[in-house]
Amino acid sequence: MTPTDQERGSFMSPNSRIEKIVKRNGQVVTFDKEKIVNAIFKAAIQVGGEDRRLAEILADKVVHQLELSKNPEALPSVEEVQDIIEKELIESGHAKTAKEFILYRYAHNKLRQGVEKQSATSSGNIPYKKIWQTLTWAIDHDCYSVDKINARIENGTFPQLVEEVTEKYNADIASAVEKIIARKDDVRIVIIAGPSSSGKTTTTIKVGEHLKEQGYELVSMELDNYYFDLEHHPRDEFGDYDFETPEALDLKLINQHLSDLLEGKTIQMPRYNFKTGKREQETDPMKLEKNQILLLDSLHGLYGPMTDSVSEEKKFKLYIETLCQIKNKEGEFIRWTDVRLLRRMVRDSWHRSYNPRQTLEHWHYVRRSEIQHIIPFLGTVDHIIDGSLPYELPIYKKHLFHHFPDFVKDYREDPKRQDAYIRAKRVHDLLESFKTWEDEEVVPKDALIREYIGGSIYEY
C-alpha cells in the first residue's frame, strides 16, 4: 500500500464527533479511531505495506465519511464502519488492501457464526453459569469495575477484598474436591488444565492438600519436565521458540509413563531446566501405589493425545480460567488473556529468565495454542474453577506499568509486531486506569497470586 497524491497532502478530519458505537452484540462502547487504524494497517501488512502513517490518514477519511453519514438519532454500528473502510480503500486506489480486509472480515464473520452455533448447542460444561456466578459475586463485593476497585483502595477496604477473594477461591476448590471424592472408587488421575498463567500449579497443590485431609495420598507428575530439549524446537522469523504447542512435550513418553504408573511400575521421570533449555541428566523415580492418586498440572491436560493411554473413567478433569468480570473505564469487560499476560510477565521475569518484552512478543504463540489445543476440549471437563483475583491488577501495576510506554512506542510502527502493539496499548491503558497497591504483605503466603509475584510458602 503506497500513498496516493491526495494522501501525500495534509488531509485530516476535524476532531471526531463520534463518541459511541454499537457492537454486534448490541453493547454500546466508546468509539476508538485507533481500532480502524489497526484494521487497515493489518490488512496492508498482508500485501507488503509498512506505512502506518498512511493507515492513520485513511482512518481519518473513514471517520470523516462516518460523520457525514451519521444519523443524529442513531449510533453508528461496527458493520457501518467496516462498510466505509471497504469503500474508502477501494476509492483511494488500494484494491489489494481492500481485498485483504474483505477476506479478513468474511473469515471472522464465519468464525462468529460457528461460535454462536456452538453456544446454542453447548451443555453446562462451557462456563456460562460460572461466569454469571462470578459477575454476581463481583457486584456483591464492590469489585466489578476499575472504579469500584480503586474506591476500595481509597477507602481502606482493599485488604478486606483480598480476604474475600481468598475465601471464594478456597471454596471453589473445596467444591471440586467433593466431586472427586464422590468418584473415589474409579478416579486414579486428576488433571488440572487451563490456559497459561491461569493458576494451574497453585490449584493443583491446594487440591492435593484437600484430598490429603480426606485420607488420600497424592503424587504430582509435573508435565513441564517432559519438554524436548530446546535445540529440537522450531524457531520463527524472530528466532522465538514455541513452548505452547503440546507437541513441544514428549507425548509418547508421557503416555508410556502414565500407563506404567497405573500398572504399578516404577518410572524415571525426567527433569527439565528452563534456564538451560535442556533435560538434566538426573531423573526422579516415581511409583503410584493403589491408595494413591496422580495429579497432573498441565497447560494441555485436556488435549486428547496427552493422556490417550488412560481410560476416561479413571480421569477427573478440572479446568481453571481467570473468569474476571471487571469493567474498564469504557464499560467493557477486561479480557481474561490480558490478566494472564501480566501474570506471566511477572513470573517469567524472576522464574524463567524472560524479560517482560520477550513474554509480550511470545504471547501470540500462547493464544494460538489455547485456541487450538484447550478451548475445543472444554466440553470434557468435570469442574471449572475460577482463578480470577479482582485485587491483582493494582499489584501488577507496581511491577510492570513502567515497561508499557516503551512497548507502545517501539511496536507502533513495526509492521511485524502489530499483534504486540495492539495488546501493549490495550494493557497500557488498562494499567494506567488502576491505582497502584504497594503493600503485598496483605496477600496470604499461600495465595494463588504468589505463584507470580513470589513469596509463596509453596515451591514452584
Q: Report yes or no: 68 and 99 within 8 Å, Cβ to Cβ.
A: no
Mean pLDDT of 10-22: 65
pLDDT at 277: 87
Indicate if 154 and 39 belong to the same structural domain.
no
* pLDDT above 90: residue 241: no
* pLDDT above 60: residue 10: no
Between 256 and 222, residue with greater pLDDT = 256
Percent of the chain with pLDDT over 90: 56
Mean pLDDT of 121-147: 77
Q: Domain range for residue 85?
A: 20-117
Q: Which of 79, 94, 117 is the last residue of a domain?
A: 117
Looking at the domain assignment, is residue 12 inside a domain? no
Indicate if 91 and 181 belong to the same structural domain.
no
* Per-residue pLDDT tens digits for 148-178: 999 999 999 999 999 999 999 999 999 999 9
pLDDT at 129: 78
Q: Report yes or no: 286 and 349 within 8 Å, Cβ to Cβ.
A: no
Looking at the domain assignment, is residue 129 inside a domain? yes
Q: Which of 117, 148, 179 is the last residue of a domain?
A: 117
Looking at the domain assignment, is residue 15 inside a domain? no
Angle at 367 between CA 366 and CA 373, to 5 degrees: 85
CA distances from 447 to 252, 388, 391 (A): 34, 12, 12
Indicate if 290 and 375 belong to the same structural domain.
yes
Mean pLDDT of 207-218: 91
Looking at the domain assignment, is residue 109 inside a domain? yes
Q: Total structural domains in the chain?
A: 2
Indicate if 50 and 158 belong to the same structural domain.
no
pLDDT at 234: 57
Indicate if 165 and 195 belong to the same structural domain.
yes
Range from 69-73, 300-304, 368-372 that averages highest in pLDDT: 300-304
Range from 23-32, 127-136, 166-175 that averages highest in pLDDT: 166-175
pLDDT at 69: 81
Indicate if 375 and 279 belong to the same structural domain.
yes
* pLDDT above 90: residue 308: yes
Indicate if 48 and 170 belong to the same structural domain.
no
Between 459 and 124, residue with greater pLDDT = 459
pLDDT at 122: 37
CATH (domain of 410) = 3.40.50.300
Cross-strand partners of 292: 217
Looking at the domain assignment, is residue 11 inside a domain? no
Indicate if 162 and 111 belong to the same structural domain.
no
Q: Which of 117, 148, 181 is the last residue of a domain?
A: 117
Sequence-separated (6 or more) residues with CB below 8 Å from residue 171: none
Indicate if 229 and 301 belong to the same structural domain.
yes
Written as nine digits, the cell of 442 is 496483605
Helices (H), 183-250: 200-213
Between 380 and 241, residue with greater pLDDT = 380
Q: CB atoms < 10 A from the CB of 294, how many?
A: 22
pLDDT at 352: 61
Looking at the domain assignment, is residue 311 inside a domain? yes
Indicate if 42 and 80 belong to the same structural domain.
yes
Looking at the domain assignment, is residue 1 inside a domain? no
Indicate if 209 and 196 belong to the same structural domain.
yes
Between 69 and 241, residue with greater pLDDT = 69
Percent of the chain with pLDDT over 70: 88
Mean pLDDT of 319-348: 93
Kindly indicate the confidence band of residue 275, based on its pLDDT and cuts at 50, 70 and 90.
confident
Indicate if 209 and 231 belong to the same structural domain.
yes
Looking at the domain assignment, is residue 2 inside a domain? no
pLDDT at 226: 92
* Per-residue pLDDT tens digits for 412-447: 999 889 999 999 999 999 999 999 999 999 999 999
What is the DSSP secondary structure assignment for residue 247, as one 8-state letter? G
